[in-house]
Structure 1
Amino acid sequence: MSDRPVFHTLALDCPDPRALAAFYADLLGYAVTADSDDDWVTITGPGPQLSFQLAPDHVPPTWPKNDVPQQAHVDFFVTDIAAAHQRVLALGGLAIDPVEPPAPSPPRGFRVYADPAGHPFCLCRPTRNAW
């Protein structure tokens, strides 16, 4: 093994790890791991895994107002931003910037959303070197 770190997991604090894991598992087509419990839930799929850690006093970010900073965010590549937008909303996510539905081929290459616990994330059009 090399001494170079390899990206493995992004963990998000949240008030309900199972619910937030279900949101991202549905969004990404991932599965909840068998060793998950009420305090720590992990989902796995074709990319790096995501974990969700119980934080009963979690305060959702208020980005872009910055009353409570965004803390972290994740970017996801999608080939059809308009279809992914509808999927995010159907799963309980919230459009933040912009809030209106995207055109079929929007000129801007990303859109900002919040998951059900308030964490911002972006849906991004892939760059040439991304895949």
Structure 2
Amino acid sequence: MTHPELLHTAIDARDPRALAEFYRELLGLHYRPGDEPPAPPAPDDEDWLVLLDSRDQRVLAIQGKADLRPSTWPSEEVPMQLHMDFRVPDAAELELQRERAEALGARVLMDRTQVPDEPLCVLADPEGHPFCLLVG
């Protein structure tokens, strides 16, 4: 029997190019041919961008959604709905990657980096989607 295979995770964004750039920088990804940023001014129809890993495998797709309401997590007013976990090898790398994410436009939602059993940090990307950086 065959099973479906995950192609990529698609994320909604009010500004797809900006969010694609955030994850491209944070995760060291690159654009699918044809999705690379154009020279300014950018066209208004960039509503589906695909990011690939170093083996040219799809990882993320960013989809335009003008009326997106960002998650308010930890409040449930607008639920999280989906989040991604990114693993780093140790606490020092966790701190480095948290700082990188913030410099790229993320904001910290919860900091548990001092918890010895499971150090992690929950951040929101520039569109408000929560994601975790954790030691694992």
Q: TM-score range by the shorter chain?
A: 0.7 to 0.9
What is the Cα-based RMSD across aligned positions, in Å? Answer: 1.8
Within 5 A, what are the aligned runs for 1:18-57? Answer: 18-36=17-35, 38-46=46-54, 48-57=58-67
3-state SS of paired residue (2:46): coil
Q: Residues 79-102 of structure 1, C-alpha deviation per residue, up to 9 Å, x if partnerless? A: 211111111111000111028xx4
Within 5 A, what are the aligned runs for 1:1-131? Answer: 3-36=2-35, 38-46=46-54, 48-79=58-89, 80-98=93-111, 102=113, 107=116, 108-126=118-136
Distance (whole Å) between structure 2 residues aligned to residue 69 and residue 48 of structure 1: 26
TM-score (norm: length of structure 2): 0.81
Residue 33 of structure 1: CA displacement?
1.5
TM-score (norm: length of structure 1): 0.84
Further displaced range: 7-16 or 28-37: 28-37
1:129 corresponding residue in structure 2: none
Identity %: 38
Residue 118 of structure 1: CA displacement?
0.1
- Equivalent residues of 1:14, 1:58 under 8 A apart: yes
Amino acid in the other structure paired with 1:41: L
- Equivalent residues of 2:111, 2:120 under 8 A apart: no
Distance (whole Å) between structure 2 residues aligned to residue 44 and residue 21 of structure 1: 11
Structure 1: give runs of 5+ residues left out of the alignment.
127-131
How many residues matched?
A: 121
Structure 1 ranges of 4+ moved more than 6 A = none
